[in-house]
C-alpha cells in the first residue's frame, strides 16, 4: 500500500509540474523560475527560501513544485528545462549520472558534483548551504553522556551488548549496508532489528533498541532528544546540500543567482533540524518557517 501511495504521489507531482510549465507557456509567461522540491520537509523549506529571495531581489516570478518523488527525478526535470532550481546533495553523483572517481572524500565528492553537473547537464552547483543530510547512528542523549559516545568508534567496546534498530533495506545491502559496515569498522552489534525507517526514532527513545540508523537532519532527533554519532571512519558517503540552478537561467537572470548565493554557508545541521521540527512537529507551513528564518538572519526585511 505504501508503495502504491508513493507512486500515486509521484505521478500527481509530475502532473502538477507539467501543468505549471504548460500554463506558463500558454500565457506567454517567460519571466518565471520554477523551483522543484523532493517529498521531504527540508527540501520544501529551502524551495520556499529560494522563492522568497528571487521574488524579493528580482522582477522574476517564482513557483514551487513540491513532492517530486526523488532527486534523480529532479535532475531529469531540470535537464528538460521543466525546473530551473532545486536542492541537491553531493552524494547524488553516486546515482550513475556520469563517470566518477569512487571516493568518500568530502571535498572530492563536492568537486565532482560541481564539475560533472556542469559538464554533462549544464547546471551550476553552488557551494554548500552548510549542512549534510546523511545516515547517522543515533542514541539517546543520556546514553551518549553516560557512555561517552561522540563517534561511531566509541561504540565498539559496548556493541556486542547493544540492540541495533535499522531500516530493512540497509541491513540487507551487501556493498554499502550492514555487512560492509561491520567489515569497515571491525565490529557488529549484539542483535539487529529491521524496521521501517520512520519507526527507528521512537524505538530508540522508548528503549526498545539501544542504537539506530537515522537521518542527520530529521526533526525527530530533536523531538525525541537523540544524539548522533560522528562517522569518524568515513563509511557513509558525504551528502552536502547545495542549491543547483540551470546555467541558461543564470545567464538570463544573473540577479537570481546572486540572490540564491546569499544562502551559501548560512545553516548548519542543527539549524536544519530546528527548521524541520517547526514544520513536522509544530505544524507550521514550510513558507512560514522559510520566511521567518530569512528575516531572522537578515536576508529579508521584517
Q: Tens digit of pLDDT for each residue in 237-289?
A: 999 999 999 999 999 999 999 999 999 999 999 999 999 999 999 999 999 99
Do 201 and 212 contact (CB within 8 A), yes or no? Answer: yes
Domain around 177: 135-228
Counted domains in the chain? 2
Q: Does 10 have pLDDT greater than 50? A: no
* Pick from 55, 69, 58: nearest CA to 14: 69
- Which band of pLDDT confidence, cut at 50, 70 and 90, is reported for residue 23? very low
Which among 228, 247, 278 is the end of a domain? 228
Q: Residue 18 has what pLDDT? A: 52
Instruction: State the pLDDT at residue 173.
Output: 86
Residues 8 and 148 in one domain: no
User: Does the pLDDT at position 94 exceed 80?
Assistant: yes
Tens digit of each residue's pLDDT (9 = 90 or more) over 114-140:
999 999 999 999 999 999 999 999 999
Q: Check residue 174 and give its pLDDT.
A: 84
- The contacts of residue 178 (CB under 8 Å, 6+ apart) are 166, 170, 171, 172, 188, 192
Per-residue model confidence (pLDDT) at position 260? 98
Same domain, 29 and 143: no
Q: Kindly report the pTM of this predicted structure.
A: 0.89
Q: Which pLDDT value is given to residue 17?
A: 57
- Asked if residue 12 and residue 81 are part of one domain, the reply reads yes
236 pLDDT exceeds 60?
A: yes
Q: Is residue 263 part of a domain?
A: yes
The domain that contains 46 carries what CATH number?
3.40.190.10
User: Tell me, what's the pLDDT at 20?
Assistant: 47
Amino acid at each position: 500500500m505504501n508503495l502504491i501511495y508513493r507512486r500515486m504521489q509521484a505521478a500527481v507531482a509530475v502532473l502538477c509540474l507539467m501543468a505549471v510549465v504548460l500554463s506558463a507557456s500558454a500565457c506567454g509567461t517567460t519571466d518565471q523560475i520554477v523551483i522543484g522540491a523532493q517529498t521531504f520537509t527540508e527540501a520544501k523549506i529551502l524551495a520556499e527560501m529560494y522563492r522568497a529571495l528571487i521574488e524579493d531581489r528580482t522582477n522574476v516570478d517564482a513557483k514551487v513544485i513540491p513532492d517530486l518523488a526523488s532527486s534523480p527525478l529532479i535532475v531529469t526535470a531540470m535537464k528538460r528545462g521543466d525546473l530551473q532550481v532545486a536542492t541537491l546533495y553531493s552524494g547524488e553523483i553516486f546515482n550513475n549520472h556520469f563517470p566518477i572517481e569512487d571516493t568518500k572524500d568530502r571535498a572530492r565528492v563536492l568537486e565532482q558534483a560541481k564539475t560533472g553537473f556542469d559538464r554533462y547537464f549544464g547546471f551550476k552547483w553552488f557551494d554548500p548551504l552548510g549542512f549534510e543530510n546523511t545516515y547517522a547512528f543515533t542514541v539517546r542523549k543520556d546514553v551518549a553522556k553516560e557512555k561517552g559516545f561522540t563517534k561511531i568508534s566509541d561504540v565498539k567496546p559496548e556493541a556486542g551488548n547493544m540492540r541495533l534498530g535499522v531500516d530493512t533495506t540497509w541491513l540487507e545491502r551487501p556493498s554499502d549496508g550492514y555487512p560492509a559496515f561491520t567489515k569497515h569498522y571491525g565490529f557488529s552489534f549484539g542483535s539487529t532489528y529491521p524496521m521501517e525507517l520512520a519507526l527507528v526514532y521512537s524505538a530508540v527513545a522508548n528503549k526498545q533498541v539501544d542504537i539506530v540508523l537515522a537521518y542527520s537532519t530529521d526533526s525527530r532527533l530533536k523531538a525525541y532528544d537523540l544524539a548522533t554519532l560522528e562517522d569518524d571512519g568515513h563509511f557513509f558517503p558525504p551528502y552536502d546540500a547545495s542549491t543547483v540552478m540551470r546555467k541558461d537561467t543564470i545567464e538570463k537572470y544573473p540577479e537570481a543567482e546572486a540572490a540564491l548565493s546569499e544562502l551559501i554557508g548560512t545553516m548548519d545541521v542543527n539549524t536544519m533540524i530546528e527548521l524541520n521540527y517547526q514544520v513536522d512537529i509544530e505544524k507550521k507551513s514550510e513558507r512560514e518557517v522559510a520566511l521567518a528564518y530569512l528575516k531572522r538572519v537578515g536576508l529579508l526585511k521584517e
